[in-house]
Structure 1
Amino acid sequence: MKEPAFLAIAHLWVGCIRIVAGYIALAAPKGKTLHRAAGTCFFVTMILLCASGLWLSLARDILFTVYLSWLAFHAVVTGWATAASRHSFARVITYLSPLSSLTMMAGAVIGAFRAASAPDGMLNGLPPGAFLAIAGIACLISGLDGLFIFRSFHHGARRTARHGWRMGFSMFLASGIFFFGNTRFLPEALHHPVFLATPVLLVVCLTAWFAIRARFQTRA
Structure 2
Amino acid sequence: MSFRKGSLRHVLAGKVFVVSMLTLAAAAVYLAILKHQTPNVVGGLLTFYLITTAWLTARRRDGETSRFDWVALLIPLAIGIFNWVYGLKVLRGGANSVDGVPVGMMLFMGSICLLAAAGDVRMLVGGGVLGAKRIARHLWRMCFGLFIAAGSFFLGPSNRPLRLLSEVGLGKHLSPAIFGTTLYLILTILPLILLIFWLVRVRWANASKRYLVPGD
Give yes or no for TM over 0.5. Answer: yes
Match of 1:201 among 165, 173, 189: 189
Whether 1:99 aligns to 2:74 is: yes
**Equivalent pair of 2:65/2:124 in contact (CA under 8 Å):** no
TM-score by length of 1: 0.74
Distance (Å, rounded) in 1 between the aligned partners of 2:51 and 2:182: 27
Distance (Å, rounded) in 2 between the aligned partners of 1:70 and 1:51: 8
Cα distance change of structure 1 residues 80 and 66 upon mapping to structure 2, 3 Å threshold: same
Structure 1 residues 112-121 or 152-161, which shifts more?
112-121
Distance (Å, rounded) in 2 between the aligned partners of 1:201 and 1:112: 23
1:57: how far off? 1.2
Percent identity (aligned): 26
**Equivalent pair of 1:83/1:163 in contact (CA under 8 Å):** yes
TM-score by length of 2: 0.76
1:15 is matched with which residue? Answer: none
2:154 is matched with which residue? Answer: 179
Distance (Å, rounded) in 1 between the aligned partners of 2:146 and 2:97: 27
1:166: how far off? 0.9
Alignment of structure 1 residues 1-220 onto 2, 5 Å: 26-86=1-61, 91-112=66-87, 115-116=90-91, 122-126=97-101, 128-151=103-126, 153-181=128-156, 182-183=160-161, 184-186=163-165, 187=171, 188-217=176-205, 220=209
Structure 1 residues 187-196 or 57-66, which shifts more?
187-196
Letter in 2 for 1:56: L
1:40: how far off? 0.6
Letter in 2 for 1:148: M
Give the unaligned 5+ runs of structure 2.
Answer: 166-170, 210-216
Higher helix residue share: 1
Letter in 1 for 2:25: C
Give the unaligned 5+ runs of structure 1.
Answer: 1-25
DSSP 3-state at the match of 1:189:
helix
Count the aligned residue pairs: 194
1:167: how far off? 0.6
Distance (Å, rounded) in 2 between the aligned partners of 1:115 and 1:121: 7
**Equivalent pair of 1:160/1:215 in contact (CA under 8 Å):** no
